[in-house]
């Protein structure tokens, strides 16, 4: 990779490397090299842990009144592969990732590979003279707007709002809810609802009222979309 391109990447991430070989390695996928030790896999492993620690510190300091469960739910969304890959696309870094010929048109380039690239860059900054301080500065900077928007109440229960925000920002559409069924006497009814996003029908859910059924249906959609990666399974009860 030429000098001009490396400078462009450094400008984008806001960090100048003392050892640019670390950056080169972070930008090299295992499919592009014969020896996987020459790829970014080890950096990805380290960067994943550094990212988790920094996000935990940020949330711990930002939300002193949130309980462990609330913090865990927000962290799960922030460090998910979906979020990391979105950040890479926003920074337009995926185009610099060196991959094998068979991976050039792979969907993974904008998904898991992109997320791995972000983690590898974090590790590269940490290993370079930047250390933990610069790695934390980088993560804090690129996650700033997401952390500002983080709200435990939203993560804990307002799944319809979260799904609507995602659908409008990422898919330029609005979720549509359908009431599929209702059972029981008037004084003790339960309702089945489902949500449709961009013509995709997601798994339905039952609730003791229409609002609860729609919230659970939105939760099902968020889980399937990978937005609520790592959320407790018991929340997905019928």
Q: What average pLDDT does the segment 34-41 reach? A: 92
On whether both 41 and 74 belong to a single domain, the answer is yes
Q: How many domains does the chain have?
A: 2
- pLDDT mean across residues, the chain: 86
Most confidently modeled of 96-105, 164-173, 177-186, 227-236? 177-186
On whether both 115 and 174 belong to a single domain, the answer is no
Split at pLDDT 50, 70, 90, the class of 228 is low
Of 134, 150, 166, the residue at which a domain comes to its end is: 150
On whether both 189 and 141 belong to a single domain, the answer is no
Q: What's the whole-model pTM score?
A: 0.65
On whether both 103 and 219 belong to a single domain, the answer is no
Of the candidates 44, 70, 119, 192, the residue annotated as catalytic is 119
Chain-centroid distance of CA 51 in Å reads 12
On whether both 130 and 206 belong to a single domain, the answer is no
> Is the alpha carbon torsion for 33, 37, 39, 41 positive or negative?
positive
Contact 104, 32 (CB under 8 A): no
pLDDT of residue 166: 86
DSSP one-letter code for 27: T
Per the structure, the complete domain to which residue 28 belongs is given by 3-150
Q: Is pLDDT at 235 greater than 70 in this prediction?
A: no
Lowest-confidence pick of 132-136, 151-155, 165-169, 210-214: 151-155
Q: What average pLDDT does the segment 4-11 reach? A: 94
Of the candidates 2, 3, 41, 48, the residue annotated as catalytic is 48
Of 119, 150, 181, the residue at which a domain comes to its end is: 150
Return the CATH number at 218. 3.30.160.20
On whether both 127 and 13 belong to a single domain, the answer is yes
Of 150, 176, 196, the residue at which a domain comes to its end is: 150
CA distance 135 to 163: 31
On whether both 203 and 128 belong to a single domain, the answer is no
On whether both 173 and 218 belong to a single domain, the answer is yes
Lowest-confidence pick of 91-100, 105-114, 117-126, 214-223: 105-114
CA distance 39 to 109: 15
Q: Is 119 a catalytic residue?
A: yes
Provide the percentage of residues in the chain whose pLDDT is more than 70.
Answer: 88
- Beta-bridged to residue 179, according to DSSP, are 193
On whether both 136 and 162 belong to a single domain, the answer is no
Closest CA to 164 of 139, 187, 136, 197: 197
Return the CATH number at 28. 1.10.1520.10
Q: Is pLDDT at 120 greater than 90 in this prediction?
A: yes
pLDDT of residue 104: 60
Q: Is pLDDT at 238 greater than 60 in this prediction?
A: no
Q: Is 128 a catalytic residue?
A: no
């Amino acid at each position: 990779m030429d000098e001009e391109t490396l400078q462009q990447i450094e400008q984008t991430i806001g960090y100048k490397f003392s050892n640019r070989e670390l950056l080169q390695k972070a930008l090299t996928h295992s499919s592009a090299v014969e020896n996987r030790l020459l790829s970014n896999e080890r950096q990805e492993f380290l960067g994943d842990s550094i990212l988790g620690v920094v996000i935990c510190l940020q949330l711990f300091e930002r939300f002193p009144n949130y309980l462990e469960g609330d913090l865990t739910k927000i962290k799960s969304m922030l460090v998910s592969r979906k979020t990391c890959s979105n950040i890479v696309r926003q920074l337009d870094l995926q185009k610099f990732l060196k991959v094998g010929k068979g991976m050039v048109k792979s969907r993974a380039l904008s998904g898991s590979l992109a997320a791995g690239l972000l983690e590898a860059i974090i590790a590269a900054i940490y290993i370079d003279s930047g250390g933990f301080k610069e790695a934390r500065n980088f993560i804090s900077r690129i996650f700033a707007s997401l952390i500002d928007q983080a709200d435990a109440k939203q993560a804990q229960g307002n799944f319809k709002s979260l799904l609507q925000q995602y659908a409008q920002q990422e898919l330029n559409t609005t979720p549509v809810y359908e009431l599929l069924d209702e059972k029981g006497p008037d004084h003790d009814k339960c309702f089945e609802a489902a949500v449709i996003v961009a013509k995709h029908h997601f798994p339905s859910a039952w609730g003791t009222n229409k609002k609860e059924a729609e919230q659970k249906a939105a939760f099902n959609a968020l889980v399937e979309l990978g937005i609520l990666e790592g959320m407790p399974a018991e929340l997905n009860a019928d």
